[in-house]
């Protein structure tokens, strides 16, 4: 009877006080998610070891906070409809696991689905939103990724609004990640519902191309970058466009991993690692923990970068930063090395949306190379570089 009373109060209070938890993602969320590398093969030991690795590898010090369990953690619902974790995979229960993750100064994330089932066939939250939100709060969950499989007949905005209200009624602040794949333009309505929303279908371990699965496709890094044009105006503090979790360390080349990370930083994308951080090599770790690149992503101005121009397969991206700084990224989209000669004085950069203009013929900017981690002169000189295939030159310009 007590559970029914509590659930009834949650339903009543949601109608009266409904909103999202504000201020949880003033900069893009940073963390790790199990899906890209482990798929359904998740268990308690993996999550504990990953949380430990988040600390020991320096990822926590670099700003990563959330350890997120994706699909397949679910067990069955009890006679009252409350979800329980798989007892074989999570024998200690989610509360004990959350307590351990919290003891390391990190947050625990979890996964569910707006439909009857999750994408992996486990119980979804449809019809159980308030029960699930209440149990997540009891466990101490800090982040919810909410997927869109088996949602026949549902309208996305309404379905995500229901879970938003349930989370708020449960009373524990939770970062709410809308994983609707961009089908119903969540950037147009997601700001007051969630803290981030997926803009595309799933990413693949592929820099350039498509993986066709029959009824759906997963996409390369370049395809995801190109897929949604003009939606940067919808992103900002506490509401971010999410081009999916990162594939760094999962099989692309070093250059491609570096370019992938650089572009997610330029896009003000959530930085959610998707590799096995327990066993990653030094080069992967150095990419994921590059604090100068991360500072571009986490800049408090909250402006998403944009494509300025294309120079013989080298695409110039820019991202205005606080204090009048500017991040610049030259992305080599080609499969061959490209020589770059860029005359700053002849190429002003204007961002109409952010109301920022950078006229290099009128002002000189110091240049910092964010991957070489050293000064690279100033905008008084023509920038000359050779950029390997699928690699970048990422710079920070300061007065």
264, 362: one domain: no
CATH classification at residue 325:
2.60.40.1180
Q: Rounded to two decimals, what is the model's pTM?
A: 0.95
Domain boundary among 231, 264, 297: 297
Q: State how many domains the chain has.
A: 2
124, 184: one domain: yes
Say which of 202, 244, 257, 276 is annotated catalytic. Answer: 202
272, 385: one domain: no
Give yes or no: 202 in active site: yes
313, 282: one domain: no
List the chain pLDDT tens, one digit each, 399 residues.
445 444 554 444 444 457 999 999 999 999 999 999 999 999 999 999 999 999 999 999 999 999 999 999 999 999 999 999 999 999 999 999 999 999 999 999 999 999 999 999 999 999 999 999 999 999 999 999 999 999 999 999 999 999 999 999 999 999 999 999 999 999 999 999 999 999 999 999 999 999 999 999 999 999 999 999 899 999 999 999 999 999 999 999 999 999 999 999 999 999 999 999 999 999 999 999 999 999 999 999 999 999 999 999 999 999 999 999 999 999 999 999 999 999 999 999 999 999 999 999 999 999 999 999 999 999 999 999 999 999 999 999 999
261, 385: one domain: no
233, 345: one domain: no
Give yes or no: 113 in active site: no
Query: Is the CB of residue 11 less than 8 Å from the CB of residue 130?
Result: yes
Q: Residues 6 or more apart from 232 whose CB is under 8 A from it?
A: 241, 303, 304, 305, 306, 353
Here the tokens at position 348 are: 């002003």
For helices 129-139 and 94-103, angle between their N-to-C axes, nearest 10 degrees: 50
284-300: b or e for each residue (b if 16 or more CB lie within 10 Å)? bbebbbbeebbbbbbbe
335, 379: one domain: yes
Say which of 147, 165, 257, 325 is annotated catalytic. Answer: 147
**Kind of pairing between the strands at 349-351 and 374-378:** unpaired
Distance of CA 91 to the CA centre of its chain: 29
Domain that holds residue 367: 306-398
262, 331: one domain: no
C-alpha distances in Å from residue 207, one per residue of 74, 211, 329:
32, 11, 17
């Amino acid at each position: 009877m007590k559970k029914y009373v509590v659930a009834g109060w949650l339903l009543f209070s949601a109608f009266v006080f409904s909103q999202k938890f504000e201020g949880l993602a003033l900069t893009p969320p940073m963390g790790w998610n199990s899906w890209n590398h482990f798929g359904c093969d998740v268990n308690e030991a993996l999550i504990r070891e990953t949380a430990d690795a988040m600390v020991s590898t320096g990822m926590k010090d670099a700003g990563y906070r959330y350890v997120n369990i994706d699909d397949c953690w679910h067990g069955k619902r009890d006679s009252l409809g409350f979800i329980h974790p798989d007892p074989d995979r999570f024998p200690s229960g989610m509360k004990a696991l959350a307590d351990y993750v919290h003891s390391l100064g990190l947050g625990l994330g979890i996964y569910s689905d707006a439909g009857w089932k999750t994408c992996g066939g486990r119980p979804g939250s449809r019809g159980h939103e308030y029960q699930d939100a209440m149990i997540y709060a009891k466990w101490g969950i800090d982040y919810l990724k909410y997927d869109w499989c088996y949602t026949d007949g549902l309208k996305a905005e309404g379905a995500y609004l229901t879970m938003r209200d349930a989370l708020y009624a449960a009373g524990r602040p939770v970062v709410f990640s809308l994983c609707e794949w961009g089908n119903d333009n969540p950037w147009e309505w997601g700001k007051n519902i969630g803290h981030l929303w997926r803009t595309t279908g799933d990413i693949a371990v592929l820099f350039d191309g498509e993986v066709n699965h029959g009824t759906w496709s997963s996409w390369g890094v370049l395809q995801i970058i190109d897929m949604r044009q003009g939606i940067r105006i919808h992103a900002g503090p506490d509401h971010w466009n999410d081009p999916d979790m990162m594939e760094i360390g999962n099989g692309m080349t070093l250059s491609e991993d570096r370019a992938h990370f650089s572009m997610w930083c330029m896009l003000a994308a959530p930085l959610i690692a998707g590799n096995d951080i327990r066993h990653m090599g030094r080069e992967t770790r150095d990419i994921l923990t590059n604090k100068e690149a991360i500072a571009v992503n986490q800049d408090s101005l909250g402006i998403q970068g944009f494509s300025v121009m294309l120079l013989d397969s080298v695409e110039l991206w820019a991202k205005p930063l606080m204090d009048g700084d500017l991040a610049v990224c030259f992305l080599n989209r080609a499969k061959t090395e490209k020589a770059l000669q860029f005359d700053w004085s002849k190429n002003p950069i204007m961002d109409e949306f952010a109301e920022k203009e950078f006229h290099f013929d009128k002002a000189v900017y110091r240049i910092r190379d964010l991957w070489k981690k050293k000064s690279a002169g100033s905008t008084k000189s023509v920038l000359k570089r050779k950029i390997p295939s699928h690699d970048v030159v990422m710079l920070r310009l300061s007065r």
